[in-house]
Amino acid sequence: MKSPRVAILGATGAVGQEFLTLLGERDFPFSELKLLSSARSAGKKITFKGKTYCVEEATPESFKDIDLVLSSAGGSVSRTLVPHAVKAGALVVDNTSAFRMDPEVPLVVPEINPEDILRHKGIIANPNCSTIIMLVPLFPLHKAAKIRRIVAATYQAVSGAGAVAMQELEQQTREVLEGKRPTKKVFPHQIAFNLFSHNSAIKEDGFCEEEIKMMKETRKIMHDESMGVVATTIRVPVYRAHSEALFVEFEKKITPESVREILSKAPGVSLQDDCVNNHFPMPLEVSGRDDIFVGRIRKDPSVENGIALFVAGDQIRKGAALNAIQIAEYWLKNSPVSAK
């Protein structure tokens, strides 16, 4: 199968639009393309690579004769429609949390566990964006010195909550500067000139859903249930790209110099560790970029074999759409079914 028949589920959303951008940029082969969305967006026209496509309402019957589904619809939509796509014979790369912790579903970051892609049973899950941004630079360090524990603090852009959240940040900023009371519709708190704990539900143990995702997904992707992971996730008034402060304890001694050496050769990673000019990864500079940027690399003196670092990545690209397309590319190249 050199050119699969592709459907994008959630085609009009931010990640769906990024799917199209990346399919074009990477010259992903396809023989047919179907754009699917909710009934509200059905009928919308989208031009891609010189051809105009009409967005169709996604239904259980939408996946006939489709080989590959790139899904960025909501979790409830995925839980409803993805089984129909699998039954129709398609491979689904799902960007929601619906199937991530299902033991029968591979959870994949291609730079880390690409071999899991070929173990799929019709669904491959894309991890949470914050998990991907954290693990792409940490995995090569894990191979070198084995990670014992990760303490993560995230600074997450409003675009993670969709285009309406970006509009709310812009509107609130204008309102505050004009001395008006800020309008709150998307977030429970004012986001302009403020930050707050991630707006996902808080569970009985005090962790929010976003933090739980990072902790559980990390162990599944790394195939290491003994790894300690704790996270605090924060929403900040940034349009696009998430940042994370990471404090990592290793089983073996590892120096900041060796960390820089390892990461300078790591796939999907760019070093930005300019101490002289105090220039380190920033959301503004990594937006629209494929790599995860890493800096502030230093020894953590509070624990033996500890390293502290700071990372930033575009959560819509590598944190979502790009990771899913990389999964599809690996499947297309290596799957026995795809090779027919």
**How does pLDDT run across 250-270, given as a tens digit for each residue?**
999 999 999 999 999 999 999
Is there a catalytic annotation at residue 208?
Answer: no
Max distance between CA atoms of the chain, in angstroms, equals 64
The helix or strand, by DSSP H or E, that contains position 233, with its residue range, turns out to be: strand 228-235
Q: Pick the catalytic residue: 120, 129, 142, 198?
A: 129
User: Looking at residues 184-189, what average pLDDT do you find?
Assistant: 96
Is there a catalytic annotation at residue 242?
Answer: yes
Burial class (CB in 10 A: 0-12, 13-18, 19+), 115: exposed
pLDDT confidence tier of residue 73, bands split at 50, 70 and 90: confident
Please report, for the chain, the start and end positions of each structural domain, with discontinuous segments joined by +.
Answer: 5-127+320-334, 131-315
Mean pLDDT of the chain: 95
Q: Pick the catalytic residue: 84, 120, 198, 242?
A: 242
**How does pLDDT run across 290-299, given as a tens digit for each residue?**
999 999 999 9
Laid out side by side, the sheet with 5-9 consists of 56-57, 32-37, 5-9, 68-71, 91-94, 123-125
Neighbouring C-beta atoms of residue 83, cutoff 10 Å: 15
Looking at domain 5-127+320-334, which of 3.40.50.720, 3.40.50.980, 3.40.1440.10, 2.60.40.10 is its CATH number? 3.40.50.720
% of the chain at pLDDT higher than 90: 93
Q: Which fold has domain 131-315?
A: Dihydrodipicolinate Reductase; domain 2 (3.30.360)
Q: Is 265 left (phi over 0), alpha (psi -120 to 50) or beta?
A: alpha
**How does pLDDT run across 90-131, given as a tens digit for each residue?**
999 999 999 999 999 999 999 999 999 999 999 999 999 999
Backbone angles phi and psi of 318, in degrees to 5: -65, -30
The whole-number pLDDT of residue 337 equals 59
pLDDT confidence tier of residue 339, bands split at 50, 70 and 90: very low
